[in-house]
Structure 1
Amino acid sequence: GRALWKASGLFKQADWYPQSWQPELEAGVYDYRITQEGNNKKWLFGLRGIAAMEKNIGMTKDDRLISKKKVSQRKNYLVRSAPNMKIAPQGLSDLVRDQSVQLQQSDQLQKNNQKSHQLAQQILLENDSDRARMEAMLQYYRLQEFSYTLQPEQMKNNDIDQFLFSNRAGFCAHFASSFVFIMRTMKIPARIVAGYQGGELNPDSGHITVRQYDAHAWAEVWLAGEGWVSVDPTAQVAPDRITAGLRNALKEDEFMSDSQFSLIKLSHLPWLNSLRLSLDNLNYQWHQSVLNFNKQKQSSQLKKWFGQGYLEKSLYWLIGLFIAIFFASAGLLLWTRAKLKLTPLQKSLLYMDKRLSIVELQRKESEGFSDYSLRLQLAFPQHKKSIQRLFEALQQQYFADQSAKQALKQQANEERRLSQQLRKLAQNLGAIAKNKSSLRQ
């Protein structure tokens, strides 16, 4: 829970004091993990007697958990708790004691909540120890006709008097605030603690889900030799709120009144409740196994796969994989370049396509040399013989048998000559095509 030091009426504020502490893991000390939703605040939650077990999580002098940075998204952290440990039994510093008995100035001058001041004075005189005075105030809640509700009447000025002597109906914050007010009026150190009480156990996974409606406020009183002692005034009026949860302490129409179609409201239906718990378990397993796969779990999994020396083995595997990928890529690149290397004649054909594309006379896909030659002869009759001669030679180059190809390769000069003629023809035909295109426009 979160300590609220300054309280008068229902006014409260938190003060934090960094400190580190960690108990030994022994009987009565527990390690557990918490998955907390983001709230853009620094405070974290856990059981009483809590200790930080991870980096960037610290403690406060009042035994509260705090994050170094604001929790802006879901956070999973490991903590250790000793619920039965005494907190500050050796005594309080002057600063902490002064804060623990402080009231607002108007209350100190007894201008407000005069009936509450009188009640505190009566309890102080009738009892001879702080513990007895604490028990007397708790008995006051039990004997008077108080009721627990989430829809109390609105209280304005003198809110403690209104709650203790008039309305006598409210929720945990009203009971905790009024109790701390009476304690501080008697100069007994006391503070409000805001946190969560309750939760739902999932029978499949064993995890406990704590929801927003489990939010609760109680009090702590400092007693000599005992330290800070947890006290819950709400339990004196609505014990079901503590032992059985919020739902059992309220009328059915009050519980989640703004969420009538929530699956939790329908948990009395066995089949639907079973489905809800299964979905909750699935969500929990997802966060634990996937979203919470941190460095420590990664390291543990690698050790499981590769053994103790997995770092060295992993390094060798990575180096070997890198070398294999490098040579495979280099071979593929060389093979691709060799395959894509164009001969002078192929380059000249591409040049012709580019020149004649202006009049859409480039070679069509899958068009043979003979058909292309005839199409060019019809388009450029004045160059009919040149086109016919060059394309016959080109066809011989591409479709000759292996021995003929070998002979042509050896005649490099002839190939260059043929390529030059084809390029020259392309220039001439391109010039004619350009003129035709201009005339069309």
Structure 2
Amino acid sequence: MENLTAARLPRPWTAPTASDPVSATLRLPGSKSLTARALVLSSLASGPSTLAGPLRARDTELMAGGLQAMGTHLSISDDERWLVRPHPLVGPAHVDVGLAGTVMRFLPPVASLADGRVTFDGDPQARVRPLGPLVGALHGLGVRVDTPPTGSLPLAVLGTGRVTGGEIVIDASASSQLVSGLLLAAPRFDRGVVVRHVGPPVPSAPHLRMTVRMLRAAGAAVDDTTPDVWSVEPGQLAGRGWEIEPDLSGAVPFFAAALVTGGEVTVPGWPHSSAQPVERLRTLLQAMGGEMTLSTAGLTVRGTGAVHGLTADLSDVSELTPVLTALATLADSPSRFTGIAHIRGHETDRIAALAREFGALGADLTESHDGLEIRPRPLRGGPFETYHDHRMAHAAAVAGLAVPGIELDDVVCTSKTMPKFPALWSAMVTGKS
């Protein structure tokens, strides 16, 4: 099995330019968000579970590795079906979070249920990602967590094998993962948990709805009827079969290629009822000049020969910001994106990085605290720094479809969520597999 969590050497890559409209049917890997949640819920269940069509990428291998380190039995040698057998969680153990927000925010609450010390650390940039609210919430639940004064990585959870649970207040405005991590482990707490968010709106609301939906599918009793309050009752989680649908955020750069080139891209195997924000994406792409249809053939996006500017609050789908920014630089009118202040704390400060890198290619971008304004003008080729951020690489690839000579300093960073991205992208552009 290829070890995607091993040290990776950056590899320069020139984004291919499209000479014709793309026309492709692409089988993309499973959703990272669904895979991560299914792994956690399966490790806390009362019986074995399977994941059909999971994502094998750096982030999900780190999640699997962290759970294995705490005692969960996993068989992930088969790319198409993973088997998870729960086992009592124990320490001492060490969890490498890499640069994965899901690992650094989902597994400390799980570690609080382990009997023993579990340490967490990751890539250098991971040490500046917001964890303080989660650490404070765990302290409020009576869990001992040792951290630097900044409340960030590296940290250690000193579990006693059980958590009493109860009611906590948290400011999750930096990331919905801060809430999801607590909810996923809560059925195993003696009293469950009531999480109350106080602060600016929680971003990425669809991911919270995904968490609640999957908890209920595993047998948990969850009440989310009160805004900004989530209540999870204590109880057993059932082992089950999880069908992991294709990854929407991973598909977006390919869909964007249809808009840029006036082509058509289909991702087969898409369910008619999706846990991911397909309808929100449909609205955004239609506004920018695309057409999206869901049929028995899959999820298809067609370009109409023009890319239009867009004014939108992206707080619920902030992971799409880099690719939408690339589209906006190629549009026929200005764009303005707001509600994305929290992406300054992602793999890099994405707002600043997008303004800097596209600005170096000739784009006219202005950053604000919580967004970007993009005024299209002709772009030129040149170096593009990814900051080890897979979504920055996706943005550069989209722009490169129309602008020759965009040279990424590191395309291997896409292995975080899609190890075969460079090959899939090149095959789509050239029409050669």
Greater C-alpha Rg: 1
Which protein is richer in strand relative to its size? 2
Quickly name the TM-score band, shorter chain normalised: under 0.3
The normalised TM-score by structure 2 is 0.19
Which structure's relative contact order is higher, taking Cα pairs within 8 Å and 6+ residues apart?
2
